[in-house]
Structure 1
Amino acid sequence: MSARRVSMADVAARAGVSGQTVSRVVNASPRVDPATRSRVEAAMAALGYRPHRAARALRTGRTQTIGLVVSTLASVGNSRMLQAVTDAAAARGYALTVVTLGADGEVAAAFERLAEQGVDGAIVLNEATERVREADLPAAGLRLVVVDSPRDARFGVVETEHAAGARLAVEHLLALGHASVHHLAGPEGSFAAAERERGWREALAGAGAPVPAAVRGDWTSASGFAAASALVEAGATAVFAANDQMALGVLRAVAETGRSVPGDVSVVGFDDVADAADYRPPLTTVHQDFDALGSRAIAALVDGIEADAPAAFETVPTRLVVRESTGPRRR
């Protein structure tokens, strides 16, 4: 026989308050003094009380469910963001439902699936943002926050400082004596890839260094490996790859030509994935704070839903993590 579900009455009895007071705490009413709220929350935690989502939806008109729209979960960046958003949503008491657009997915169909599940709002990730910006917006009343997009008055935007991170990478390589820095760019249509490429160009131009033609990959290590031959043939002594997976492909390609990293070619990535410190050699990379992106996106969306706050625009800074894949230019 299953255990009985903890009720509001149980919480009220333990906290020494009325059931109405517990209801106010559950529904985040401001009509509860802080001491009483703390006592009720402590009783909830002690008893393992979880509000009944369906019943609360009937009372408030909200399901406490957030949608996540993403093109694919195959890339490391998107899967990291999924984890960050899931954790941040749970911390605010919201469930998450995920829809993927796929290569030929339709934005309208994705939002129709979310509408069927009664979500209160949605977060749109990375490559999916361009499709959402170009499409008709979903039904009125559905809050949207997009991660990595130009500013748009129709929804909130949270983005990494991609261009600033790219400049850090290029400036680091130039300071090591490299005459220029070649770039392995991300795919066309990606806001993050375009911003990283912009930062690379600006850093070289600002230093008066030559700007070589960029070579383009698709975020995968295989595309980095395939593109690396063109970089090596161009005489690159320093390569900035738009993500760590492509940088991994470059490391392998350089090694297979009989050259060494960083002796012959210095390599910098972007993201600072969990395995970057274990690449051979350990990868110098731009650290992207996925946890901060996820928590800020959730905060912007939930605050908009619960407090009718205006659409927010926030940026999350990056930092350079120097490891063993970069070194002085060989004379």
Structure 2
Amino acid sequence: MVRGAARGGGPATPTGMDVARLAGVSQKTVSRVFNSEQYVSAEVRRRVLEAAEELGYRLNSAARTLASGRTRSIGVVALGTALYGPASLVIGIERAARDAGYALRVVNTLEGDPGGVAGAVESLLEQGVDGIVVSEPIDEGPVSLSVDVPVLVLGAPLQFGGPRTVAAGAGADSLARAATEHLLDLGHVTVHHLAGPHRWFAARDRRAGWEAALTARGIAHPPVLTGDWSAASGYAAGRELAFSSDVTAVFAANDDMAIGLIRALTEAGLRVPEDVSVVGFDDIPVSAYVTPPLTTVRQPFDAVARDGLRLLLQAIEKPDAEPAPASEPPVELVVRASTAPPPNRGRSADGGPTVLP
């Protein structure tokens, strides 16, 4: 195909009409493909996208904004952290938004900044986003803010006033309960808990799930140890638990702390899982390759992101429709080699580990 020439002899910028002609479809079909509308077959979509790539065509976002009144962009407020859970959730949101034909604009907050969320939201509103995702895992206090676009809150209480606010990503308590019940079903009399920082909504939810599992079986709650999500804090907790005679099972609020915990127990002469069983949370990639491979609960980051974005896009594109309910996240317990029935032999009389022959 010979492209047209602009004034001065240079190549002309390809248009939607050029794409339609090359793909053998109407210009309206090209528009439907690039606006991610329904009623376009997979074959037609493929032809249009291949034609657009061959021509170097990019949809004029300014023209699309004028036509629809929307920028097809979504803002994300997220904690600036490399921790596996929050980072994986933002990646899942980006994938889901891209698949839906939306651009993503991310503003990071800092832990300990009570005005960070409000400031981030204001920044995104100034950029004209069509909706906002709040993936802020820490309770920094009340957020006094009213927005004029739909808001999706992930894994935290609703805290915004506006035309429509939806929530997704709840259910960490169910996952934590499943982890605790797994240990109780193996025959452990009780389960100790290594919690995350209390200011984190996720840490509260996981502790609530652990408590609910014990309460349902009439078991008193052992004292809770608290870490900071790091393997080092898990190691410190493990050094303390290693010399408690009643500890045979521990549910850690994330995998990093569980890995540090296992290291401390092993150094104290205890075997995992023969003496103490350990369950983590998240299923980080390395959890299958530590010694022993870690039993853990897999977080459905992609499923939560896609479900949440589904709710947000409905609120953006169909503002008069009745809000759809959020889906329940799947509970996936990944059983590996760090859990087993409780030991037949306990600890020595002085409270330390039993010395094995």
Does structure 2 retain, via aligned residues, the 8 Å contact 1:251–1:261?
Answer: yes
Work out the CA distance in 2 between the residues paired with 1:3 and 1:159.
48
Amino acid at match of 1:80: S
Work out the CA distance in 1 between the residues paired with 2:14 and 2:65.
18
Are residues 21 and 90 of structure 1, via their aligned partners in 2, closer, same or farther at CA, if it must alter by over 3 Å? closer
Once the two structures are superposed, what CA deviation does each residue of 1:13-47 show, in whole Å capped at 9, x if it has no partner?
124454355345544677xx656x96366323333
Please give the secondary structure, in 1, of the residue aligned with 2:281.
strand
Amino acid at match of 1:220: S
2:52 aligns with one of 41, 44, 47? 47
Please give the secondary structure, in 2, of the residue aligned with 1:156.
strand
Does structure 2 retain, via aligned residues, the 8 Å contact 1:184–1:215?
Answer: yes
The count of corresponding residues between Structure 1 and Structure 2 is 325
Match of 1:97 in 2: 105
Does structure 2 retain, via aligned residues, the 8 Å contact 1:70–1:99?
Answer: yes
Does structure 2 retain, via aligned residues, the 8 Å contact 1:180–1:209?
Answer: yes
- Compare CA radii of gyration and give the structure with the larger one: 2
Are residues 104 and 17 of structure 1, via their aligned partners in 2, closer, same or farther at CA, if it must alter by over 3 Å? same
Does structure 1 retain, via aligned residues, the 8 Å contact 2:20–2:26?
Answer: yes
Q: Please say which of residues 75-84 and 2-11 is displaced more in the overlay.
A: 2-11
Work out the CA distance in 2 between the residues paired with 1:230 and 1:3.
71
Work out the CA distance in 1 between the residues paired with 2:33 and 2:95.
22
Work out the CA distance in 2 between the residues paired with 1:8 and 1:196.
51
Work out the CA distance in 1 between the residues paired with 2:83 and 2:10.
41
> Which structure would you say has the larger RCO, counting Cα contacts within 8 Å and 6 or more residues apart?
1
Once the two structures are superposed, what CA deviation does each residue of 1:47-80 show, in whole Å capped at 9, x if it has no partner?
3243222321222221111111112322110111
Please give the secondary structure, in 2, of the residue aligned with 1:239.
strand
Q: What is the TM-score normalised by the length of structure 1?
A: 0.89
Matched, 1:288 2:299: yes
Q: Please say which of residues 156-165 and 19-28 is displaced more in the overlay.
A: 19-28
- Structure 2 matches for 1:70-81, cutoff 5 A? 70-81=78-89
Gaps of 5+ in 1: none
Are residues 29 and 222 of structure 1, via their aligned partners in 2, closer, same or farther at CA, if it must alter by over 3 Å? closer
Does structure 1 retain, via aligned residues, the 8 Å contact 2:242–2:270?
Answer: no
Matched, 1:249 2:264: no
Work out the CA distance in 1 between the residues paired with 2:256 and 2:37.
47
Amino acid at match of 2:294: L
Does structure 2 retain, via aligned residues, the 8 Å contact 1:180–1:204?
Answer: yes
Work out the CA distance in 2 between the residues paired with 1:84 and 1:29.
21
Amino acid at match of 1:135: V
Match of 1:181 in 2: 191
Match of 1:165 in 2: 175
Work out the CA distance in 1 between the residues paired with 2:159 and 2:125.
22
Work out the CA distance in 1 between the residues paired with 2:61 and 2:253.
42
Shift of 1:193: 1.5
Does structure 1 retain, via aligned residues, the 8 Å contact 2:262–2:278?
Answer: yes
Amino acid at match of 1:63: T
Amino acid at match of 1:146: V
More helix by share: 1
Gaps of 5+ in 2: 1-8, 345-357
Match of 2:152 in 1: 145
Work out the CA distance in 2 between the residues paired with 1:180 and 1:9.
69
Does structure 2 retain, via aligned residues, the 8 Å contact 1:162–1:318?
Answer: no
Q: Please say which of residues 287-296 and 2-11 is displaced more in the overlay.
A: 2-11
Work out the CA distance in 2 between the residues paired with 1:202 and 1:14.
61
Does structure 2 retain, via aligned residues, the 8 Å contact 1:156–1:312?
Answer: no
RMSD: 2.6
Shift of 1:151: 5.8
Percent identity (aligned): 42
Q: Please say which of residues 283-292 and 110-119 is displaced more in the overlay.
A: 110-119
Are residues 40 and 85 of structure 1, via their aligned partners in 2, closer, same or farther at CA, if it must alter by over 3 Å? closer
Work out the CA distance in 2 between the residues paired with 1:88 and 1:318.
21
Does structure 1 retain, via aligned residues, the 8 Å contact 2:156–2:170?
Answer: no
Shift of 1:182: 0.1
1:109 aligns with one of 90, 110, 119? 119
